[in-house]
Protein backbone atom coordinates (compact mmCIF):
# COMPACT_ATOMS: atom_id res chain seq x y z
CA UNK A 1 0.00 0.00 0.00
CA UNK A 2 1.20 3.51 -0.81
CA UNK A 3 2.00 5.82 2.10
CA UNK A 4 0.74 9.01 0.43
CA UNK A 5 -1.85 10.05 -2.14
CA UNK A 6 -1.13 13.31 -3.97
CA UNK A 7 -3.89 14.92 -6.01
CA UNK A 8 -4.41 17.54 -8.65
CA UNK A 9 -7.16 19.97 -7.58
CA UNK A 10 -9.24 21.36 -10.47
CA UNK A 11 -11.09 18.60 -12.28
CA UNK A 12 -9.88 15.96 -9.82
CA UNK A 13 -11.04 16.85 -6.29
CA UNK A 14 -12.99 20.02 -7.07
CA UNK A 15 -15.33 21.02 -9.87
CA UNK A 16 -14.16 24.57 -10.57
CA UNK A 17 -14.89 25.05 -14.27
CA UNK A 18 -17.83 27.45 -13.99
CA UNK A 19 -16.10 29.81 -11.55
CA UNK A 20 -12.96 29.81 -13.72
CA UNK A 21 -15.11 30.58 -16.75
CA UNK A 22 -16.97 33.39 -15.01
CA UNK A 23 -13.77 35.07 -13.80
CA UNK A 24 -12.09 34.72 -17.18
CA UNK A 25 -15.09 36.22 -18.93
CA UNK A 26 -15.32 39.03 -16.38
CA UNK A 27 -11.74 40.03 -17.24
CA UNK A 28 -12.28 39.67 -20.99
CA UNK A 29 -15.51 41.67 -20.98
CA UNK A 30 -14.00 44.43 -18.86
CA UNK A 31 -11.51 45.15 -21.62
CA UNK A 32 -14.02 44.59 -24.46
CA UNK A 33 -12.79 41.20 -25.67
CA UNK A 34 -15.04 38.32 -26.74
CA UNK A 35 -16.00 36.01 -23.89
CA UNK A 36 -15.41 32.24 -23.95
CA UNK A 37 -17.74 29.28 -23.69
CA UNK A 38 -17.53 26.74 -20.89
CA UNK A 39 -16.08 24.20 -23.32
CA UNK A 40 -13.42 26.61 -24.50
CA UNK A 41 -12.30 27.22 -20.92
CA UNK A 42 -12.33 23.46 -20.30
CA UNK A 43 -9.72 23.09 -23.05
CA UNK A 44 -7.64 26.00 -21.69
CA UNK A 45 -7.19 24.90 -18.06
CA UNK A 46 -4.43 22.74 -16.65
CA UNK A 47 -1.30 24.86 -17.01
CA UNK A 48 -2.01 27.65 -14.54
CA UNK A 49 -3.83 30.97 -14.76
CA UNK A 50 -1.15 32.64 -16.88
CA UNK A 51 -1.74 30.07 -19.64
CA UNK A 52 -5.50 30.23 -19.12
CA UNK A 53 -5.60 33.96 -19.84
CA UNK A 54 -3.01 33.64 -22.60
CA UNK A 55 -5.25 31.12 -24.36
CA UNK A 56 -8.47 33.04 -23.76
CA UNK A 57 -7.22 36.49 -24.80
CA UNK A 58 -6.78 37.36 -28.50
CA UNK A 59 -3.04 37.46 -29.31
CA UNK A 60 -2.33 35.90 -25.93
CA UNK A 61 0.60 37.21 -23.92
CA UNK A 62 1.43 39.62 -26.77
CA UNK A 63 -1.84 41.48 -26.19
CA UNK A 64 -1.12 44.88 -24.54
CA UNK A 65 -3.94 44.20 -22.07
CA UNK A 66 -2.59 40.80 -21.04
CA UNK A 67 -1.17 41.85 -17.65
CA UNK A 68 -4.24 43.82 -16.59
CA UNK A 69 -6.54 41.01 -17.73
CA UNK A 70 -4.52 38.51 -15.71
CA UNK A 71 -4.65 40.67 -12.57
CA UNK A 72 -8.36 41.35 -13.10
CA UNK A 73 -8.98 37.63 -13.37
CA UNK A 74 -7.02 36.89 -10.19
CA UNK A 75 -8.78 39.59 -8.18
CA UNK A 76 -12.22 38.53 -9.40
CA UNK A 77 -11.51 34.84 -8.84
CA UNK A 78 -10.35 35.42 -5.26
CA UNK A 79 -13.74 36.95 -4.52
CA UNK A 80 -15.81 34.46 -6.51
CA UNK A 81 -14.14 31.06 -6.34
CA UNK A 82 -16.87 29.62 -4.10
CA UNK A 83 -19.87 30.58 -6.21
CA UNK A 84 -20.26 27.31 -8.14
CA UNK A 85 -17.23 25.29 -7.07
CA UNK A 86 -17.82 22.05 -5.17
CA UNK A 87 -16.05 18.81 -4.32
CA UNK A 88 -16.93 15.95 -6.63
CA UNK A 89 -19.32 13.44 -5.08
CA UNK A 90 -17.53 11.06 -2.76
CA UNK A 91 -14.29 13.04 -2.44
CA UNK A 92 -14.72 13.85 1.25
CA UNK A 93 -15.56 10.22 2.04
CA UNK A 94 -12.49 9.06 0.11
CA UNK A 95 -10.16 11.43 1.95
CA UNK A 96 -11.57 10.30 5.30
CA UNK A 97 -11.02 6.67 4.37
CA UNK A 98 -7.42 7.34 3.32
CA UNK A 99 -6.76 9.17 6.58
CA UNK A 100 -8.28 6.30 8.55
CA UNK A 101 -5.68 4.02 6.97
CA UNK A 102 -2.85 6.45 7.85
CA UNK A 103 -2.24 7.43 4.24
CA UNK A 104 -0.94 10.99 3.92
CA UNK A 105 -2.77 13.28 1.51
CA UNK A 106 -1.62 16.31 -0.47
CA UNK A 107 -2.59 18.57 -3.34
CA UNK A 108 -0.25 19.87 -6.04
CA UNK A 109 -1.92 22.25 -8.49
CA UNK A 110 -0.99 24.78 -11.17
CA UNK A 111 -3.60 27.14 -9.71
CA UNK A 112 -1.97 30.06 -7.87
CA UNK A 113 -0.76 29.05 -4.43
CA UNK A 114 -2.97 31.30 -2.29
CA UNK A 115 -6.13 29.97 -3.96
CA UNK A 116 -4.98 26.35 -3.65
CA UNK A 117 -4.30 26.69 0.05
CA UNK A 118 -7.56 28.54 0.73
CA UNK A 119 -9.73 26.13 -1.27
CA UNK A 120 -8.15 23.10 0.38
CA UNK A 121 -8.47 24.62 3.83
CA UNK A 122 -12.11 25.57 3.35
CA UNK A 123 -13.31 22.43 1.59
CA UNK A 124 -11.09 19.74 3.11
CA UNK A 125 -9.59 21.12 6.32
CA UNK A 126 -7.32 18.59 8.02
CA UNK A 127 -8.14 15.94 5.41
CA UNK A 128 -5.34 17.42 3.25
CA UNK A 129 -1.92 17.45 4.92
CA UNK A 130 -0.08 19.68 2.42
CA UNK A 131 -1.34 21.95 -0.38
CA UNK A 132 1.03 23.43 -2.97
CA UNK A 133 0.14 25.76 -5.84
CA UNK A 134 1.89 27.89 -8.42
CA UNK A 135 4.57 30.12 -6.89
CA UNK A 136 7.67 31.95 -8.09
CA UNK A 137 10.08 29.42 -6.57
CA UNK A 138 8.28 26.33 -7.91
CA UNK A 139 8.12 25.35 -11.57
CA UNK A 140 4.60 24.52 -12.73
CA UNK A 141 3.55 21.02 -13.62
CA UNK A 142 4.53 18.99 -15.61
CA UNK A 143 7.80 19.89 -13.87
CA UNK A 144 7.94 17.63 -10.80
CA UNK A 145 9.05 20.40 -8.41
CA UNK A 146 5.79 20.75 -6.47
CA UNK A 147 5.28 17.01 -6.17
CA UNK A 148 8.87 16.39 -5.07
CA UNK A 149 8.58 19.19 -2.52
CA UNK A 150 5.58 17.40 -1.02
CA UNK A 151 7.36 14.04 -1.05
CA UNK A 152 10.31 15.57 0.80
CA UNK A 153 8.06 17.25 3.38
CA UNK A 154 6.34 13.94 4.03
CA UNK A 155 9.68 12.20 4.47
CA UNK A 156 8.85 9.65 1.79
CA UNK A 157 10.15 8.51 -1.60
CA UNK A 158 8.34 8.90 -4.93
CA UNK A 159 7.77 5.14 -5.06
CA UNK A 160 5.80 5.36 -1.81
CA UNK A 161 3.36 7.88 -3.31
CA UNK A 162 0.74 7.91 -6.05
CA UNK A 163 -0.34 10.96 -8.05
CA UNK A 164 -3.91 11.41 -9.31
CA UNK A 165 -5.10 13.93 -11.89
CA UNK A 166 -7.41 14.56 -14.79
CA UNK A 167 -5.09 15.80 -17.55
CA UNK A 168 -2.07 15.09 -19.71
CA UNK A 169 -0.16 17.54 -17.52
CA UNK A 170 -0.75 15.27 -14.53
CA UNK A 171 0.34 12.15 -16.42
CA UNK A 172 3.61 13.82 -17.37
CA UNK A 173 4.08 15.24 -13.87
CA UNK A 174 3.86 11.81 -12.29
CA UNK A 175 6.28 10.41 -14.86
CA UNK A 176 8.74 13.23 -14.22
CA UNK A 177 8.49 12.60 -10.48
CA UNK A 178 9.05 8.85 -10.86
CA UNK A 179 5.63 8.15 -9.40
CA UNK A 180 2.67 5.90 -10.22
CA UNK A 181 -0.24 7.81 -11.81
CA UNK A 182 -4.00 7.37 -11.72
CA UNK A 183 -6.02 9.37 -14.24
CA UNK A 184 -9.67 10.29 -13.64
CA UNK A 185 -12.13 10.77 -16.50
CA UNK A 186 -14.68 12.95 -14.69
CA UNK A 187 -12.54 16.09 -14.96
CA UNK A 188 -11.70 18.42 -17.81
CA UNK A 189 -10.20 15.86 -20.23
CA UNK A 190 -12.04 12.81 -21.55
CA UNK A 191 -10.93 9.17 -21.55
CA UNK A 192 -9.86 9.07 -25.21
CA UNK A 193 -7.72 12.17 -24.70
CA UNK A 194 -6.11 10.67 -21.60
CA UNK A 195 -5.34 7.41 -23.40
CA UNK A 196 -3.80 9.26 -26.33
CA UNK A 197 -1.60 11.12 -23.86
CA UNK A 198 -0.20 8.04 -22.19
CA UNK A 199 -2.60 7.25 -19.35
CA UNK A 200 -2.00 3.72 -18.06
CA UNK A 201 -4.70 3.57 -15.39
CA UNK A 202 -7.99 5.47 -15.74
CA UNK A 203 -10.84 5.41 -13.22
CA UNK A 204 -14.41 6.61 -13.65
CA UNK A 205 -15.66 7.11 -10.09
CA UNK A 206 -14.38 7.87 -6.60
CA UNK A 207 -14.94 4.33 -5.32
CA UNK A 208 -12.74 2.95 -8.10
CA UNK A 209 -10.13 5.62 -7.38
CA UNK A 210 -10.08 4.76 -3.67
CA UNK A 211 -9.70 1.06 -4.40
CA UNK A 212 -6.79 1.68 -6.73
CA UNK A 213 -4.98 3.99 -4.30
CA UNK A 214 -5.30 1.32 -1.60
CA UNK A 215 -4.17 -1.52 -3.86
CA UNK A 216 -1.13 -0.01 -5.59
State residue 70 phi and psi, 5-degree precision. -60, -45
Return residue ranges of the chain for CATH 1.10.150.
17-80
pLDDT digits (tens, 9 = 90+) for 141-183: 999 999 999 999 999 999 999 999 999 999 999 999 999 999 9
CATH of 17-80, one of 2.40.70, 1.10.150, 2.60.40, 1.20.120: 1.10.150
Residue 132 has a pLDDT of: 96
* Predicted pLDDT at 136: 85
Give ranges for CATH 3.40.50.1000 in the chain: 4-15+86-215
- What does the angle CA 63 – CA 69 – CA 73 come to, to the nearest 5 degrees? 150
Kindly report whether the global pTM for this prediction surpasses the value 0.85: yes
d(CA 121, CA 181): 24
CA distance 147 to 152: 9
The H-or-E segment that residue 164 falls in is: strand 161-165
Pick the CATH number of 4-15+86-215 from 3.40.50.1000, 3.60.21.10, 3.90.226.10, 3.40.50.1100: 3.40.50.1000
Contact in structure between 181 and 162 (CB atoms under 8 Å): yes
What pLDDT was estimated at residue 39?
95
Amino acid sequence: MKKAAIFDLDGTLLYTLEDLTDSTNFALAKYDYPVCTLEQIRSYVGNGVYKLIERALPDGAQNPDFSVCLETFKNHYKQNMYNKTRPYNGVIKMLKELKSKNIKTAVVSNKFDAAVKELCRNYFGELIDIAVGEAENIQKKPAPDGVLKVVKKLGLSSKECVYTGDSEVDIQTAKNAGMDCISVDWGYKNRDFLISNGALLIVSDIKELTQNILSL
